[in-house]
Structure 1
Amino acid sequence: MDHKAQASPLTNTSNNEINQSRRNLLVGSAGAMAAVSLLGFTPIAKAAEAKTLPEYTRWKEASALIVHSANTMETERGAIGSGVVTPSDRLFVRNNLSAPSEEITSDPDAWEVNIEGVQNPRTLTVAELKRLGAETVASVLQCSGNGRAFFPHGASGTQWGVGAAGCAVWTGVPLKDVVSELGGMADGMKYITGTGGEKIPDGLEPKSVMVERSVPVSALETALLAWELNDEAIPLAHGGPLRLVIPGFYGVNNVKYIKNLAFTESQTDAKIQVSGYRVRDVGVSGSPDQPSMWEMNVKSWVTAPLENASTGRAMIYGVAFGGVKALEKVEVSTDGGSNWKQARFLGPDLGPYAWRPFVLAADLNAGEYRIVSRATDVDGDAQPEGRTDNERGYGHNGWKDHGVTVQVM
């Protein structure tokens, strides 16, 4: 995997400018939906029967979600729409442990995070972090196993289709500014290690289940300690009051409820790092010498039409992103990949870590069509046709599996 440091898309602005720019982009409640609609988002119809959501996600739009479990909820492919920003009430949910009590979000500014591996280690409240500055970044949030359902060997874990991903706008203090405030990083540190604040179930050895992840220290250039998601305080379901956000990295590295952040010489010995989220051949156990699920790869998929369309002019929509790199183009094929046409990007470009909705106008006669998309980043890396089979079904970005079959009548 490529672990080159990437140029930061974050911009230094005054608080007034930050608030104004966020509101121009976003997506609160009523104003948010209006903003997203201007970017091409179409609300989906309410389901005939309401789905039951866990209490901590009860505020979400149930008809837009596939409920796999109390800790895993996927955005319906048809609910992704063509908007640049995913509304918070449609954003997928993935927790490795049960979420903490709602009480921790009652006074977000009081939440504390301990910073270690710096010259002057210290515990800071969110209120203190807010006084160090604020920046905003748009970034795709994606589970490592997004696309797992397409693996034929039956990889264990939640059977995600394409909906374990969304594009969100995060606001917080750049981690590098926090480090500067605390006198700089201690010598010899190679990793950023974040520890979540979830309660460890009784009777279990903490390191066997705790959410503690290490990423290369080069991520310091873009990492945030974020307290807002889509212009509102981060809700409990998405890691509030405080979340480590590392643009371009898979979701597991964006540690929720972050309670401890340390710069370390080596990776954590927590199981989730040592053997979890490691890419290995089918049937092979996880180990530290295998690639870790850090930076995301280039990916796209179609969001409409999904099953049926009328003859004549059809507008084919989808979303695409480059992981840690900006996109160069997206191509669409209506014949399963035999012929390709370049699609057009929709909406504003929110930076290299955000996704780009796209559209292609196609004239379709009656019949069956296999519609697929293929994204290419600025370095020329394109989605492969097939998947790389691996034990846990991680990192699937093959364009063939992600296509849809549409009947045109």
Structure 2
Amino acid sequence: MNATTKVKRRHFLIGSAGTIAAAAVGGPAIGQDGSEPLPDYVAWKDPDDFIVHSKQTLETKRAAQGSELITPSNELYIRNNLPAPPDEIVADRDAWEIEIDGVANPGTLTVGALKTLGVETVVCVLQCSGNGRAFFDHETSGSQWSVGAAGNVVWTGVPVRAVIDAMGGAAEGMNFLTGTGGEEIPEGVPKETIQVERSLPTEAIDQAILAWEMNGEPMPLAHGGPLRLVVPGYYGVNNVKYVRRLALTAEESPNKIQQTSYRVRPVGVSGDPSQPSMYEMNVKSWITGPLMDAATGKVQIHGVAMGGVSDLEKVEVSTDGGQTWEDAKFLGPNLGPYAWRPFILITELSEGTHMLASRATAQDGQSQPEEFPPNERGYGNNGWRVHAVDVTVS
């Protein structure tokens, strides 16, 4: 089975009167018959916009992504490696404490104290490492994400650089920025086997923030409140929730999530520290749906695109499975190199079935490949062909 026939795409029927019928794929439709309600800790989200993979993994449906510049909090996907802590931790947000180590003057700061050290707002994509995993031919463990484990989010907090400077600067010999999550560890379980603790190269310090707000509101518990490490341009696992400790360290964390998990390796090979870790995101785009202008009979194709760690140069759209390409137009302002940009192309489609694909190119020269090589855990898939959608015009 080739990649084209294997893809679980959305199929659209565009009628002559301008109506659009869409059949969702990739998981159960929730919130329609009440058979699969959202878990209590995310009950405030819109159930009609999600596919529930588990209590800790909720995928935003492709159609719900639309052409929104910022992803509303109630439509943002959920991926938690461990159950969220009890909601008591957000009762007094400013009292939450974080330990700062690997600096000249290590100590503990409250969120209230962090707010006096500096404030910055950054817009960036939050994306799970496995977004696009469902499109690989081989069987992969983990949630079978298609495109819905991503969103564009506004974060507000204190720059990590400002915190380090306030604590006297970095100690000598430190090579990593290590964040430790505050999830509860079950009794009797060695913490290094499940604790969320990620170590990043020190160059990540310059863009990282300790965020207490998301989309202009206090950080929701489900997304890491009261305090979350946010590293623009890096995959979601590095954006540690409920962060309890931030340290400059000489070595990487010894925890499993650092040493063997989130490592890119060939299919059938076990993870080990010598393999590349899921750090910086790659350039990527996908179609989020066609719309129909009944008055003109033209089709509006739209989607979202990201440059990973670079501004976008362009997005091209193909209506014939990649045989020809046309430049799309960006919608809205450029919110920075780490944010996604909605795009649009208005075009005529003849009667029949068309494969609509998008291909993004970043200013650093990276462009989406047609195919992305498989890897054991299904990480980082940005191949444009498998992200395409089929449209039938009648």
TM-score (ref. length: structure 1): 0.87
Asked if 2 retains the 8 angstrom alpha-carbon contact of 1:309 and 1:406, the reply is no
One-letter code aligned to 1:78: A
1:46 and 1:383 mapped to 2: Cα distance? 32
Match of 2:107 in 1: 122
| Distance in 2 (alpha carbons) for counterparts of 1:334 and 1:309 | 17
User: In structure 2, what is the equivalent of residue 17 of structure 1?
Assistant: none
| Aligned residue in 1 for 2:4 | none
Would the aligned equivalents of 1:309 and 1:407 in 2 still touch at CA under 8 Å? no
Matches within 5 A, 1:256-267: 256-267=241-252
SS at match of 1:359: strand
Q: Deviations over 1:185-236 (max 9, x none)?
A: 0011110000000001222111000000000000111100000000000001
Shift of 1:344: 0.2
For the structure 1 residues 182 and 163, does the alpha-carbon distance in structure 2 shift closer, same or farther, using more than 3 Å as the test? same
Q: State which of 224, 231, 236 in structure 2 corresponds to 1:239.
A: 224
Letter in 2 for 1:344: K
Q: Which residue number in structure 2 is paired with residue 49 of structure 1?
A: 33
What is the CA–CA distance in structure 2 between the aligned matches of 1:82 and 1:71, rounded to whole Å? Answer: 26
- CA drift of 1:47 comes to 5.3
Is there any run of 5+ residues in structure 2 with no aligned partner, and where? 1-23
Please tell me whether the aligned partners of residues 345 and 358 of structure 1 are also in contact (alpha carbons under 8 angstroms): yes
Q: Give the aligned partner of residue 299 of structure 2.
A: 314
Alignment of 1:2-401 (within 5 A): 48-50=32-34, 51-305=36-290, 312-401=297-386
SS at match of 1:258: coil
Q: Is contact 2:157–2:213 with CA below 8 Å preserved after alignment?
A: yes
Q: Give the drift of 1:305.
A: 2.3
Counterpart CA distance in 2 for 1:257 and 1:366 is 52
Query: Aligned equivalents of 2:372 and 2:39: distance in 1?
Result: 33
One-letter amino acid of the structure 1 residue matched with residue 32 of structure 2: A
Count, aligned residues: 365
Conserved? CA contact 1:196–1:258, under 8 Å: yes
In the alignment, the residues of structure 1 paired with residue 321 and residue 297 of structure 2 have an alpha-carbon distance, to the nearest angstrom, of 19
* Cα distance in 1, alignment partners of residues 80 and 293 from structure 2: 36
Contact 2:133 2:379 in 1 (8 A): yes
Secondary structure, counterpart of 2:189 in structure 1: coil
Measure the CA separation in 2 of the matches of 1:312 and 1:331: 22
Contact (CA 8 Å) 1:172, 1:224: kept in 2 or not? Answer: yes
Q: 1:100, 1:390 → 2: CA distance?
A: 32
Q: Report the alpha carbon displacement of residue 357 of structure 1 after superposing the two structures with TM.
A: 0.1
Deviation per CA, 1:134-188: give whole Å up to 9, x if none.
1100000000000000111111100001000000000000000001100000011
Instruction: Give, in whole Å, the separation in 2 of the partners of 1:154 and 1:363.
Output: 38
Q: Which runs of 5+ in 1 are unaligned?
A: 1-43
Instruction: Report the CA distance between 1:379 and its aligned residue.
Output: 1.6
SS of equivalent to 2:165:
helix
Once the 2 structures are TM-superposed, how far is the Cα of residue 83 of structure 1 from its aligned partner?
A: 1.2
**CA shift digits 1:312-369 (9 cap, x unpaired):** 3100000000111110000000111010000000011110000000000110111000
Aligned AA for 1:170?
Answer: W
Please state whether the residue corresponding to 2:222 is helix, strand or coil. helix
Query: For residues 318 and 334 of structure 2, what CA distance do their matches in structure 1 show?
Result: 24
Residue pair 1:219, 1:246 contacting (<8 A) in 2 also: yes
Which amino acid in 2 is paired with 1:221?
A: D
The residue matched to 2:354 in structure 1 has which SS?
strand
In the alignment, the residues of structure 2 paired with residue 251 and residue 282 of structure 1 have an alpha-carbon distance, to the nearest angstrom, of 22
Shift of 1:49: 2.5
Change (3 A) 1:156 1:62: same
In 2, distance between residues paired with 1:379 and 1:161? 26
Q: Please report how far the alpha carbon of residue 309 of structure 1 lies from its aligned counterpart in structure 2 after TM superposition.
A: 9.5
Measured in 2, the distance between the counterparts of 1:169 and 1:364 equals: 36
For 1:258 and 1:388, the matched residues in 2 are separated by: 34
- The 2-side partners of 1:183 and 1:230 are apart by 31
| Alpha-carbon offset, residue 133 of structure 1 | 1.3
Instruction: For 1:120 and 1:173, locate their aligned partners in 2 and report how far apart those are by CA, in whole Å.
Output: 18
Cα distance in structure 1, aligned partners of 2:386 and 2:227: 36
TM-superposition CA deviations, 1:63-92 (whole Å, max 9, x none): 011111000000000000111100000000
Rounded Cα–Cα distance in structure 1 between residues aligned with 2:319 and 2:188: 54
Normalized against structure 2, the TM-score is what? 0.91
Tell me if structure 2 keeps the 8 A contact 1:309–1:408. no
Cα deviation, residue 48, structure 1: 3.4
Counterparts of 1:304 and 1:361 in 2: how far apart (Å)? Answer: 12
Distance 1:331 1:144 in 2: 24
Q: Quote the Cα distance in structure 1 between the aligned partners of 2:303 and 2:206.
A: 30
C-alpha deviation, 1:46, in angstroms: 10
